[in-house]
Chains A and B, each alone.
Chain A
Amino acid sequence: MQHKLERILPKVQKPARYTGGEYNQVLKDSSKVDLRFALCFPDTYEIGMSNLGLKILYGVLNNMSGVWCERVFAPWGDMEEEMRKNSIPLYALESGDELREFDIIGFSIGYEMAYTNVLNMLDLSNIPLRSAERGEDFPLIIAGGTCAFNPEPLADFIDVFLLGEGEDLLPELVSLVHDMKGSDRLSLLKAAAKLEGVYIPTLYDVEYNDDGTVKSIVPHDGAPAVVTKRIVQDFENSYFPTETIVPSTEIVHDRTVLELFRGCIRGCRFCQAGYVYRPVRSRSAEKLRELGVSALKNSGYQEIGLSSLSTSDYRGLRELCDGLLDWCEPRNVSLSLPSLRADNFSMEIMERVQKVRKSGLTFAPEAGSQRLRNVINKNVTEEDILNTCRTAFEGGRNSVKLYFMLGLPTETDEDVLAIAELAYKIVRLWKDCAKNRAGGLRITLSTACFVPKPMTPFQWEAQVTAEEYMRRVKLLCDSMRSRAISYNWHDAETSIIEAVLSRGDRRLGRVLEEVQKTGGRMESWSEYFSFERWASAFEKYGLNPAFYANRERSRDEVLPWCHLTAGVTEDFLWSEREAAYRGEITPDCRVQCTGCGANLLYKGGGCDD
């Protein structure tokens, strides 16, 4: 344990998250490894340690001989303050060594509000933020995750972006870095650009029009004109971690997690994950049961969860649940299911699982009216929801959580009011059929402001302004007077910044830098987020957030991420956008392939679903 660290840890909240030493951490002799990798998650330990992607990459990298991968998380404010006061640089949990000693620093970035944490973590490591200011001796800074599909706001800071799934690509890059030790940075970057899925921002020149839109993005030094994301080809047999680190302190999802499949067949038009992780690839129920049991045995966890974008679409769900429960029940291990879709809700499975715990129901209809649900291609009907509620109420359950978005394309006041109507229908249904009336009904209804995301059919949309969002919130609020309903709305300010960053360009690099310098960090936590800080940074650099958030793009505009692709063609996205405006739904991939283009990512041929 570092000497200085020992003196500050007694002063901070939950020190166990800063020490490492957990069961199953990987320790290697740093003098005997060839390459050291710092796997960074730009949020707290509790959130990062719950992230499945991080567990996978940790395992994949540490399975490489000669490579030692360690974990790094963002410190909470009190810890950061103590670290800065005592000149303790950011360090990796396993060895306690500072980040500058590593060969590669890799960030897994899943949401835009973590961007300032990326910069702050580099700053805490005494590493210059900008790639251009880092000499050859500094570690290579790389990043991947959902944000890599439009990484432009971070282009000035990150040397290498990895698009898509990292299981195969990351080891390829790490091997390249290892083999090219000793050669200069530019040669390394040029060689890396040849790997499929690697995007090197400095190998592209971006020019702008007078109106601020992008004029052109031109590759040089042999970089590809378009970078295509990578996928795991053989998902059934791809690496899955069964010897995961068991934190010694409580984290957000403190349990074993199984990943049933990648991708999603649904095609909800607002959902970035649904488009950028296509096509669907699943594991067999038999394989999953085996992996689940071995992970439970190894970790000692007494809970196992199933994780995927839309779990109830998994074909072998019943077989898997039965198989797991046969093992779990006699051992006091509980199976937790995410809320299943109403349309193929398997009551038997729920019944068997719910023996352990009666949790509430959760629905994400996203929009209140059927018209608007068709626009966004969210395939849930009011009937599905009410049927599921009826069964639950008759079974004695009394709480329902509902999630909606406001500000979806084409939304009218009528659509907003339909949210309240749906809630009232649930109230009436409960009055008719509730078994257990003692506690009363509790409906928790939440709305968030819609954020148009790159690589979705809504990537050209304008976000509604904060004032308009708040007007709709008030409209909805005023139309719900039942004591059974409690309404929470997310603030619009965070969504605006999210919208700016998610479709932003390279000019935002200066804004990010300014926000970090003026104290911005942990921005996904309301206690740290400050809209004013962002506003003054935009002003300082003469940029208008509305240009990024509230402006509709035309079809022929050069989008900042047009040189990157997740496999789904822009023509397909545009046709989905037009279908949305016509209120037409698109069948899911299982009913009918609508030719999005993602099938071409398979080396062998078409999609398996």
Chain B
Amino acid sequence: MIKYRIVFEKKGRAKYISHLDLMRTFQRAFQRAGVKVRHTEGFNPRARISIAHPLPLGMESRCEILDFEALEPLDESLVSRLNAVMPEGIVIRELRENTRKASEIAWKRYNLRLIYDTGVPQGAAEAIARLFSSGNVVIRKKTKRGEADFNISPCINSLNVAQDGNDELLLDLVASAQSPSLNPMLIVDAIGKYLPEISPDFTRCVRVEMLDEELKPF
């Protein structure tokens, strides 16, 4: 039994595949590629695979990781074998031996693209930067027991804002991956609450990098 990890992208139409469906998709893709993966016991054996940080529906990623145990040694050729049998938009980047615990992921980097159909409002970039440097950005968040106030500032390691063309703002965000993990779309919720006049018409979000405690690539 050898523990492996693959790093993959999820983009385009594949961003609408839910976490559960993605697990099923990989289960079948392994089967198609003829990879012998360790299965669960019982009546209905399933491949034992895990995806450490489920991506919210509708978000793209360049850095997803999936862990599994293979019954036989694998080499780099697995990448192309798997890519030949994946649905559109899921692209395997590399195969690694799984030597680091996924719990060492402490931060995640995201790129948010805020889209304004009628052009970015004057001073929006500055206003957003100012808001998140205040250290106290509180939003209402749904919890198991109704709703609660939640200060998202401690979850933000860095947030840089730049304008891209006339209609878009680009936010480069490093957010906490654990206790608690920050859903980057809450940044947009916060803009909607504090700066409603510069709330974007639509936001695209891409997870670009998993980082460890030292902010080094995981």
Q: Taking the complex as formed, is B13 at the interface, i.e. its CB lies under 8 A from any CB of chain A?
A: yes
Whether the pair B31, A16 counts as a contact (CB closer than 8 A) is no
A249 touching B18 in the complex, CB below 8 Å, given contacts A298-B32, A300-B32: yes
> Measured between alpha carbons, how far is A9 from B31 in the docked complex, in Å?
30
Whether the pair A332, B45 counts as a contact (CB closer than 8 A) is yes
> Measured between alpha carbons, how far is A22 from B13 in the docked complex, in Å?
9
Please give me the residue from chain B that is nearest to A333 by CB atom. B31
Docked complex: B163-185 residues within 8 A CB-CB of A:
none
Q: Taking the complex as formed, is A487 at the interface, i.e. its CB lies under 8 A from any CB of chain B?
A: no
A28 to chain B, nearest CB (A): 14
Q: Taking the complex as formed, is A248 at the interface, i.e. its CB lies under 8 A from any CB of chain B?
A: yes
> Measured between alpha carbons, how far is A334 from B87 in the docked complex, in Å?
24
B137 to chain A, nearest CB (A): 23
Residues in A neighbouring B32, C-beta threshold 8 A:
23, 297-300
> Measured between alpha carbons, how far is A152 from B86 in the docked complex, in Å?
44
A356 touching B43 in the complex, CB below 8 Å, given contacts A250-B21, A297-B32, A301-B28: yes
Whether the pair A300, B30 counts as a contact (CB closer than 8 A) is yes
Whether the pair B29, A10 counts as a contact (CB closer than 8 A) is no
Q: Taking the complex as formed, is B134 at the interface, i.e. its CB lies under 8 A from any CB of chain A?
A: no
Whether the pair A1, B13 counts as a contact (CB closer than 8 A) is yes
Q: Taking the complex as formed, is A316 at the interface, i.e. its CB lies under 8 A from any CB of chain B?
A: no
A553 to chain B, nearest CB (A): 49
Residues in A neighbouring B31, C-beta threshold 8 A:
300-302
CB < 8 Å neighbour of A21 from B12, B24, B28, B85: B12
Whether the pair B28, A299 counts as a contact (CB closer than 8 A) is yes
Please give me the residue from chain A that is nearest to B87 by CB atom. A23
Q: Taking the complex as formed, is A246 at the interface, i.e. its CB lies under 8 A from any CB of chain B?
A: yes
Residues in B neighbouring A10, C-beta threshold 8 A:
57-58
Whether the pair A21, B14 counts as a contact (CB closer than 8 A) is yes
Docked complex: B24-79 residues within 8 A CB-CB of A:
24-25, 27-32, 39, 43-45, 57-58
Residues in B neighbouring A25, C-beta threshold 8 A:
88
Q: Kindly supply a per-residue 1/0 record for chain A positions 17-58, scoring 1 wherever the CB is within 8 Å of any chain B CB and 0 otherwise.
A: 011111101000000000000000000000000000000000
Q: Taking the complex as formed, is A357 at the interface, i.e. its CB lies under 8 A from any CB of chain B?
A: yes
Please give me the residue from chain B that is nearest to A250 by CB atom. B21
Residues in A neighbouring B16, C-beta threshold 8 A:
9, 15-16, 18-19
Q: Taking the complex as formed, is A7 at the interface, i.e. its CB lies under 8 A from any CB of chain B?
A: yes
Whether the pair B21, A15 counts as a contact (CB closer than 8 A) is no
CB < 8 Å neighbour of B17 from A6, A7, A249, A356: A249
Docked complex: B64-117 residues within 8 A CB-CB of A:
85-89
Most chain A CB atoms below 10 A, which of B12, B31, B44, B202? B31
Residues in A neighbouring B21, C-beta threshold 8 A:
16, 248-250
Whether the pair A357, B43 counts as a contact (CB closer than 8 A) is yes
B55 to chain A, nearest CB (A): 13
Q: Kindly supply a per-residue 1/0 record for chain B positions 113-156, scoring 1 wherever the CB is within 8 Å of any chain A CB and 0 otherwise.
A: 00000000000000000000000000000000000000000000
Please give me the residue from chain A that is nearest to B202 by CB atom. A7
CB < 8 Å neighbour of A357 from B44, B85, B202: B44
B59 to chain A, nearest CB (A): 10
Whether the pair A23, B85 counts as a contact (CB closer than 8 A) is yes
> Measured between alpha carbons, how far is A10 from B43 in the docked complex, in Å?
36
Residues in B neighbouring A9, C-beta threshold 8 A:
16, 58
Most chain A CB atoms below 10 A, which of B25, B57, B202? B25
Q: Kindly supply a per-residue 1/0 record for chain A positions 300-320, scoring 1 wherever the CB is within 8 Å of any chain B CB and 0 otherwise.
A: 111000000000000000000
B84 to chain A, nearest CB (A): 10
Residues in B neighbouring A21, C-beta threshold 8 A:
12-14, 87-89
Please give me the residue from chain A that is nearest to B86 by CB atom. A23
Residues in A neighbouring B202, C-beta threshold 8 A:
6-7
Residues in A neighbouring B14, C-beta threshold 8 A:
21, 248
Residues in A neighbouring B88, C-beta threshold 8 A:
20-22, 25
Docked complex: B5-21 residues within 8 A CB-CB of A:
12-14, 16-18, 21
> Measured between alpha carbons, how far is A300 from B86 in the docked complex, in Å?
11
Residues in B neighbouring A248, C-beta threshold 8 A:
14, 17, 21-22, 25, 87
B21 to chain A, nearest CB (A): 5
> Measured between alpha carbons, how far is A302 from B85 in the docked complex, in Å?
16
Whether the pair A22, B57 counts as a contact (CB closer than 8 A) is no
> Measured between alpha carbons, how far is A9 from B85 in the docked complex, in Å?
26
Whether the pair B89, A15 counts as a contact (CB closer than 8 A) is no
> Measured between alpha carbons, how far is A343 from B98 in the docked complex, in Å?
55
Please give me the residue from chain B that is nearest to A303 by CB atom. B44
Residues in B neighbouring A15, C-beta threshold 8 A:
16, 57-58
Whether the pair A300, B39 counts as a contact (CB closer than 8 A) is no
B97 to chain A, nearest CB (A): 24
Residues in A neighbouring B58, C-beta threshold 8 A:
9-10, 15
Residues in B neighbouring A299, C-beta threshold 8 A:
28, 32
B42 to chain A, nearest CB (A): 10
Residues in A neighbouring B44, C-beta threshold 8 A:
334, 356-357
A22 touching B28 in the complex, CB below 8 Å, given contacts A9-B16, A249-B17: no
> Measured between alpha carbons, how far is A21 from B14 in the docked complex, in Å?
7
Residues in B neighbouring A356, C-beta threshold 8 A:
43-44
Please give me the residue from chain A that is nearest to B34 by CB atom. A297
A182 to chain B, nearest CB (A): 35
Q: A23-B28, A23-B86, A356-B44 are in contact. List 8 more A-B contacts (CB 8 A).
A: A14-B18, A16-B21, A19-B13, A21-B87, A23-B85, A248-B14, A300-B32, A332-B39
Mind listing 17 A-B residue pairs with CB under 8 Å? A6-B204, A7-B202, A9-B16, A10-B58, A20-B13, A246-B87, A297-B32, A299-B28, A299-B32, A300-B30, A302-B27, A302-B45, A332-B39, A332-B45, A334-B44, A356-B43, A356-B44
Interface residues of B (CB under 8 A from A): 12-14, 16-18, 21-22, 24-25, 27-32, 39, 43-45, 57-58, 85-89, 202, 204
